[in-house]
A and B are shown apart, each in its own frame.
Chain A
Amino acid sequence: MTATVEEPGRRVPGLVPGRDPLRVGRFSGVWRPRTIVVMVATAAVLVVGAALNIGRGEFPIGVGDVLATLFGGGGPAEQFIVLDLRLPRTLTGALVGGALGVSGAILQALARNPLAAPDIIGITMGASAAAVGVIVLGSGAGAFAVIASSVGLPVAALLGGLVTATLIYLLAWRKGVQGFRLVLVGIGMNAILYALVNWLLIAAQVYEAARAQVWLNGSLNARGWEHVVPVGIALAILVPVALVLAHLLGALQYNDDTARSLGVRVDGARTALLAVAVGLAAIATASAGPIAFVALVSPQIAQRIVGSPRPPIGASLLIGATLVVLSDLLARTAFGSAELPVGVVTAVLGAPYLLYLLVRHGREARV
């Protein structure tokens, strides 16, 4: 090792063919300018989209004024409208989107399958089944109704998601966790829960079914600071953990023996990563309902723009957040007075973009 390599924070060209290493103290990584450019650009789009979304409403505020107010300027009226009334909605959307993006990125990398996402392995459906149960059965009579209405939708959804995830994990455990088996068990669980939800929808009165349908599409309506705080705390804890654990995903791409010989405790690493992904997905679903497709599409878009070998966590976070905020903006503006649930629009907005990337690159992207 030459002296230049030891120098902290210094880029050293040429040690890895085609990739420049970056070292800071004991830590080292690969210098990927494209990732950074993508992340900065996405963050810029996110901020502008958020400002546009906050500015919209019965009392329109320009993007410049919104940004000024967010950074401490603006009059008392603007401060009240922006900070107290409108910011929580957009912030919830951004945080939920980010959580789903990271959750999807981890699951797709763990399962080595672009179709893996909390939506299809049952975690989101567990939360949905609990929530729909509360909506449909909560208005009836009997002990369940009392319990259901006192627990409240978000808590029920969170519990539903976590219980489902634990069940899937236990059922998939056979002297260790294997990504493939876990996903298949999750799909089985998803089918059971989906059938339950459908049965509840049929058993329900049509107006309860409609209310449940709104929740099932994911909505950001009437979100206040009390919705922002739990997601915010969860992200503040879990995302750094995910970023720290992310380097393990590289080793877990290989088969278990190779990963072990690279010094990774395979079961421990998988369990920790799964716990992070599940926690993020469950919290996100509890806050905004099962916003469809974000967890599946954000990592795929991120991977294709960044050009990385597996879904990148940081870029997935930003793209998930941006997708949800832009979808909310579209859901509120594009259909006149009718406001659609944001979950309807995420697919309508995200799917064509993913298809465009697919068509343009037109090459096999491996996960």
Chain B
Amino acid sequence: MRSRRVTGLLLLAVLLVVVCLASIAIGAKAIPLDHVWSALFSPTGTEDDVVVRSLRIPRTVLGLLAGAALGLAGALMQGHTRNPLADPGLLGVNAGAAFLVVIGIHVFGISSLTGYVWFAFAGALAASVAVFLLGSTGRAGATPVTLAVAGAAVSALLFGLTSAVILTDVRTLDAYRFWNVGSLAGREPAIAAQVAPFLLVGVLIALATAPALNALSLGDDVAKSLGHSVTRTRVLGVIAITLLAGSATAACGPIAFLGLIVPHVVRSFTGPDHRWLLPASALSGAVLLLTADVVGRVVARPGELQVGIVLALIGAPFFIALVRRKRLAQL
């Protein structure tokens, strides 16, 4: 098992480097690898250097951050709700972000991507706090089932309100439908810088709670008897998920599905141990998101297909094939 995990992680790291280079080299203008190299380490101000340094690298960095965040958030979410169907959006992050973005467009007339970021982030935070409070009011506190049901209910409520706004205002619908598919295109470097600190804190909390999350997966009572504070672990988990998924959504729009499938893929070689599962999910998330982004640039030349769409179109068949395998790694 251990050698499989190490091999898997190494393979992921290699893949990540390859995909990053591909993401810098491939696009509307193909740039040969030696030019990429010189643009990275000895820029001379040629056209290729400008494209690489001001467009491709920021985009790749954003993809790395968002992919890793969503993969990690997905693994955390499935671990905390002990539900294989949970995705980072289940805490209401996507629904909350979408709702406040729509309010931002409709009420305040915001129309720039940089303007959406704070609305999306605030919405994601508020929604997940609400879900956690509602899900933990019972005697038993926040249990997997109450969290999942509360998340589904709050998300549906917010999506309903979002629909009510965009149905009555075609202009808002027009702006919203492009935000809503999730994309790495056209994001200024400032956006990645805006969300990066939150993301970093999220990653640190997530990795620090991995051992406690392992104990929680044995059931709340066992975890308690092993000396873990269930409430503290869960609160930290929710904070990490919100920071990770919230900043990814704020930067790129809702990217569905990534956080859901990545943990299932990763579990097939790490097993259920979160100390391995979490880092591997972060790496896989980044690889998958960047791959989808690169494919999206290639398939619809001269235009682009949004990463959210590509992700589902290439990720889902792969996921189905994985699910069809004989032994399915359970939570």
CA distance A192 to B108 in the complex (A): 34
Which of the four size classes fits the interface of chain A?
Answer: 35 or more
CA distance A217 to B156 in the complex (A): 12
Number of interface residues of B (CB under 8 A): 60
Q: Does B306 contact A (CB under 8 A)?
A: yes
Considering the complex of A and B, which 4 residue pairs feature the smallest CB-CB distances, nearest first?
A: A362-B138, A347-B160, A195-B312, A351-B157
Q: Do B152 and A115 touch across chains, with their CB atoms under 8 A apart?
A: yes
Q: Do B323 and A181 touch across chains, with their CB atoms under 8 A apart?
A: yes
The residue in chain A whose Cβ has the minimal distance to the Cβ of B145 is: A364
Spot the interface stretch: B15-23, B165-173, B201-209.
B165-173
Q: Does B29 contact A (CB under 8 A)?
A: no
CA distance A346 to B84 in the complex (A): 26
Q: Do A292 and B306 touch across chains, with their CB atoms under 8 A apart?
A: no
Chain A residues with Cβ below 8 Å from B170 are 206-207, 210
Spot the interface stretch: A65-73, A80-88, A293-301.
A293-301
Spot the interface stretch: A27-35, A197-205, A237-245, A272-280.
A197-205
CB proximity to B under 8 Å, residues A166-202? 171-172, 174, 180-181, 183-185, 187-189, 191-192, 194-196, 198-199, 201-202
Chain B residues with Cβ below 8 Å from A171 are 320, 324
Q: Do A174 and B326 touch across chains, with their CB atoms under 8 A apart?
A: yes
Q: Do B145 and A198 touch across chains, with their CB atoms under 8 A apart?
A: no
The answer to whether residues A343 and B163 also contact, given A184-B264, A192-B316, A354-B153 and a CB cut-off of 8 A, is yes
Q: Does B319 contact A (CB under 8 A)?
A: yes
Q: Does A312 contact B (CB under 8 A)?
A: no
Query: Which of A352, A362, A367 lies at the interface centre, i.e. has the most chain B CB atoms within 10 A of its CB?
Result: A362
Q: Does B38 contact A (CB under 8 A)?
A: no
Q: Do A113 and B319 touch across chains, with their CB atoms under 8 A apart?
A: no
For residue A242, give the distance in angstroms from its CB to the closest CB of chain B.
23
**Chain A residues engaging chain B, CB cutoff 8 angstroms:** 113-116, 120, 171-172, 174, 180-181, 183-185, 187-189, 191-192, 194-196, 198-199, 201-202, 206-207, 209-210, 213-214, 217, 292-293, 296-297, 300, 338, 340-341, 343-348, 350-352, 354-355, 358-359, 361-367
Q: Does B134 contact A (CB under 8 A)?
A: yes
Per-residue CB proximity of B140-161 to A under 8 Å, as 1/0?
1001011011101110110111
Could you list 12 examples of A-B contacts with CB < 8 Å?
A115-B85, A116-B85, A188-B320, A189-B316, A192-B317, A195-B316, A347-B157, A358-B146, A363-B138, A363-B139, A366-B145, A367-B145
Which residue from B150, B157, B313 sits with its C-beta under 8 Å from A195? B313
CB proximity to A under 8 Å, residues B227-274? 256-257, 260-261, 264
Chain A residues with Cβ below 8 Å from B190 are none
